[in-house]
Amino acid sequence: MADTDTANNSIADSSRSANVKTPELHLRPSDTVMRLSRMGAFHQSRLSFIRVLLRKLKQENWTFERSRWQITANGTGVATYTAHGPERSYTLIAFAHDLPDEARSDRVIAEAWDATFTLFDGLPTDEDIERLMQQVPLQEAGRLSDSELVLSRANRSVRLFESVCDALANGRQPDIDEIEAVGYLMRTTAVYGSGKFGAADRSRWAERPEFKGSFQPELLSVWLIRTFTLDLVEHMAQARAPESATRLVPEIRRRFGVGNSTGLGMAPFLLNHPVLLNNWIEARETALARVRDVNTIGQREKEKFLDLLSRVQINVSHWSVDHQQQMQKINDLAKDLDRMQQQLKQHGFADDKPWDDLYRWAESMLSLEAQEQLVSLLIELYPQKVDELASGMCCDENTISKIDATGTVAELKTAIRQHYLWAIENNFERKASIARVWYVSAEKLEPRLGERFEEDIEPYEQPLSPARDIARLYDDLGKAADDSSLAAFLMQHPEHRHSVRRLQTVQYLPYAEIRDNTIAAEMLPIDMLRCKLSFFGATRFDPRSDRWVRITLFKDAPFPDELALLDPDELAYPPANSAQTVSRH
């Protein structure tokens, strides 16, 4: 692999993450990492945001209480869960509704849900609950205030919810294969934060230590929502048959995560937040480089790795989807993990730089899914080298970066050749290279992807094609005098301001830009979704098409009342003795 790109560029930028790299570390080049095919093969790791959140809550001895439970026998009403930290408290307010089956939809065009939620900053009064009861169930049509950090909603998995409720009402534990086949009782269909629909801006809470990193309030909400879904099903079972009902045993209870159904709304995020994307990926790549740089290992590390490998194999054996391409990848991943196990059995670990050796072997022999699974496993082994990197996985995006227009046209052309050669080498004359248009639909104000040559949508195109746009900029720069100032060029071409700012923002950030054409005919939006969701900590990536996916969050994680006693990192992979429950459909 060519190791010549900007990954080791030492030019600092103020917007860059605080990740500290020793000079000899070799990070994977951006040409290798920032391809959609690879980003679409990322797996959760100990740098994933739900892992970061649970570690922090545990380390800081947060406590939790179900501060309100006003839920009827048929599962409607209000419940609140409060998390108390060293300095502040936060309360999830859950509104449970009676939703007819025919109204249940995961699509953003839905107008009613099984449950709606908000994360309240502090302890809500009765008046707050009353106010929010008028707004939160309306979701996008309601208005929140500075006191609310997150807005969310969820729908039941009707089949599993009823089956679990029925089993518990009859005093039985539910069928484990059924739980594993779905993985959740409810799935969220949107989790909005950062100032959306009137909620508090990120700047209101970004400096709080408990929210350092990315998406921490949103994921705290989802974790508490998970508890609510389990409490709800147990409550309804109890109400249905008070004499016979039982509760879930903890080991089975933990098998439930929260589902999430995500469509194209999430896809543009990685394009709209290039600095943040860089900081996420750079942390992960730095972690990998640190582990590959380990010179020798002892028996303990070897055993730990082999243990984790076998537990990942159990995980993969539970992972079954209808999407044919993804199912093929999962099958290949299972075979590749077996190969890795065989390889280590036959040849053992190298004496010198064993993890680097193993990674290189994987890179030459295994699928992208397996290579990236290995990355997550290697990172897992060394908390002391890795965990501190999580604090750099954020950035301040409040201020627009001022374009530096003092340079010349020639200088900008040089910068483009240096940082965007991969983009300008595309042939954008080909119809297939510009086949798609990202646009926002008037109906629900959500991003969609259309066909440029089949639909009348080009006038509504969103600026989500950096490769094509930089290539256009480069063409127009070619028509201007080399010694002309950039200021003069931009005066003539205000349409290029977006691309010039982007270039100046990301040029020293190795992992800020997806090095693929995001409007090509063959582009798969699910690759972008998978990348982002892996950073969230999602498992069970289940593409329902090329454009939307279901995933599970917090599966196997401790519940709030267990956090003090259990290690959330240890539970991130299923226990080795859970293999007997393997099922495939």
Residues 249-278 that bind other proteins (CB under 8 A): 261, 263-264
Quick one: 57 or 395, whose CB is closer to other proteins? Answer: 395
- Phi, psi for residue 198 in degrees, rounded to 5: 95, -5
Instruction: Give residues 519-548 in contact with other proteins (rule: CB under 8 A).
Output: 544-548
Among 108, 375, 390, 514, which residue sits at the site for other proteins (rule: CB under 8 A)? 108
Report the residue number, 129 or 182, with the smaller CB distance to other proteins: 182
Minimum CB separation of residue 439 from other proteins in Å reads 5
Q: Compute the distance between CA of residue 504 and CA of residue 367 in angstroms, rounded to an integer.
A: 35
Residue type, 226: R
Residue with Cβ nearer other proteins (189 or 278):
189
Is the CB of 269 or the CB of 382 nearer to other proteins?
A: 269
Q: Find the angle CA(219)-CA(225)-CA(226) to the nearest 5 degrees.
A: 95
Side-chain-side CA neighbours of residue 257 (13 Å): 26
Answer for the pair 255, 517: CB distance below 8 angstroms, yes or no: no
Among 106, 128, 210, 282, binds other proteins (CB under 8 A): 106
- Which of these ranges, 207-215, 227-235, 361-369, 395-403, lies near other proteins under the rule CB under 8 A? 395-403
- Give the CA radius of gyration of the chain: 25
Q: Nearer Cβ to other proteins, position 306 or 405?
A: 405
In the region spanning residues 480 to 499, those forming contacts with other proteins, defined by CB under 8 A, are 485-488, 490-499
Residue appearing with tokens 């069970």: 540
CB of 544 to other proteins, least distance (A): 5
b (16+ CB within 10 A) / e for 351-368? eebbbbebbebbeeebbb
**How far apart are CB 339 and other proteins at their closest, in Å?**
33
Compare residues 81 and 439 and give the one whose CB is closer to other proteins: 439
**Is 105 one of the binding residues for other proteins (CB under 8 A)?**
yes
Site for other proteins in 267-326 (CB under 8 A): 322
Contacts of 370 (CB under 8 A, 6+ apart): 332, 333, 336, 337, 340, 362
- In the list 182, 230, 275, 330, the residue contacting other proteins (rule: CB under 8 A) is 182
> Does residue 4 bind other proteins (CB under 8 A)?
no
463 binds other proteins (CB under 8 A): yes
Pick 43 or 502: Cβ nearer other proteins: 502
Q: How far is CA 315 from CA 94, 155, 306, 311, 532, in A?
A: 31, 25, 14, 6, 20
Q: Which stretch binds other proteins (CB under 8 A): 47-55, 246-254, 386-394, 398-406?
A: 398-406
Q: Which amino acid is at 464?
A: L
Of residues 500 through 519, those in contact with other proteins by CB under 8 A are: 500-501
Q: What mask of x and - would describe binding to other proteins in positions 159 to 178, judged by CB under 8 A?
A: xx------------------
Q: How many binding residues for other proteins (CB under 8 A)?
A: 73
Question: To 10 degrees, the CA torsion angle through 289, 552, 231, 233?
Answer: -160
- Kindly tell me the sign of the dihedral angle through the C-alpha atoms of 364, 367, 370, 371: positive
Give the nearest distance from C-beta 498 to other proteins in angstroms. Answer: 4
Token representation of residue 167: 């089993």
d(CA 255, CA 339): 28
Residues in 65-104 at the binding interface with other proteins, rule: CB under 8 A? 101, 104
Q: Assess contact for 187 and 258: CB atoms under 8 A.
A: yes
Shortest Å, Cβ 225 to other proteins: 18
Strand partners of residue 232: none
Of 189-197, 339-347, 368-376, 553-561, the segment contacting other proteins by CB under 8 A is: 189-197
Q: Of 172 and 497, which CB lies nearer to other proteins in the complex structure?
A: 497
Nearest approach, Cβ of residue 562 and other proteins (Å):
27
Order of strands, sheet of 77-84, starting from the edge strand that comes earlier in the sequence: 63-71, 77-84, 89-96, 115-121, 148-156, 184-192, 257-262, 549-553, 539-543
Q: Report the nearest approach of other proteins to the CB of residue 542 (Å).
A: 10
**Min CB(189)–other proteins separation in Å:** 8
Alpha-carbon distance of 375 to 373, in angstroms, equals: 5
Q: Which stretch binds other proteins (CB under 8 A): 33-41, 275-283, 325-333, 399-407?
A: 399-407
Give the nearer residue to other proteins in terms of CB position, either 77 or 195: 195
Of 126-155, binders to other proteins (CB under 8 A) are: 143, 145-146, 155
The contact pattern for other proteins, residues 419-448, with x = CB under 8 A and - = no contact, is: --------------------xxxxx-xx-x
Q: How far is the CB of 268 from other proteins (least distance, A)?
A: 12
Which spans in 79-137 are helix H?
126-135
Interface residue with other proteins among 202, 273, 304, 452 (CB under 8 A) is 202
In 510-555, DSSP assigns E strands to 539-543, 549-553
Query: Of the two residues 91 and 499, which places its CB atom closer to other proteins in the complex?
Result: 499
With contact defined as beta carbons under 8 Å apart, do 533 and 541 qualify?
yes
Of 106-114, 350-358, 417-425, 504-512: span binding other proteins (CB under 8 A): 106-114
Q: Is 32 in the site for other proteins (CB under 8 A)?
A: no
Nearest CB to other proteins, comparing residues 115 and 381: 115
Least distance (Å) between residue 148 CB and other proteins: 10
411 binds other proteins (CB under 8 A): no
- Of 534, 572, 540, the residue nearest 39 (C-alpha): 534
Cα 156 to Cα 232, 302, 356: the distances in Å are 11, 42, 44
Choosing from 203, 296, 342, 414, the residue that interacts with other proteins (CB under 8 A) is 203
Q: 450, 560, 568, 574: which one contacts other proteins (CB under 8 A)?
A: 450
Residues 448 and 441: beta-carbon distance below 8 Å: yes
CB 80 within 8 A of CB 67: yes
How far apart are alpha carbons 475 and 499 in whole angstroms?
Answer: 13
Q: Are strands 257-262 and 184-192 parallel, antiparallel or unpaired?
A: parallel
Please identify, using beta-carbon distances, which residue of 375 and 500 lies nearer to other proteins. Answer: 500
Binding status of residue 207 toward other proteins by CB under 8 A: no
Q: Which residue has 């679409």 as its token pair? A: 40
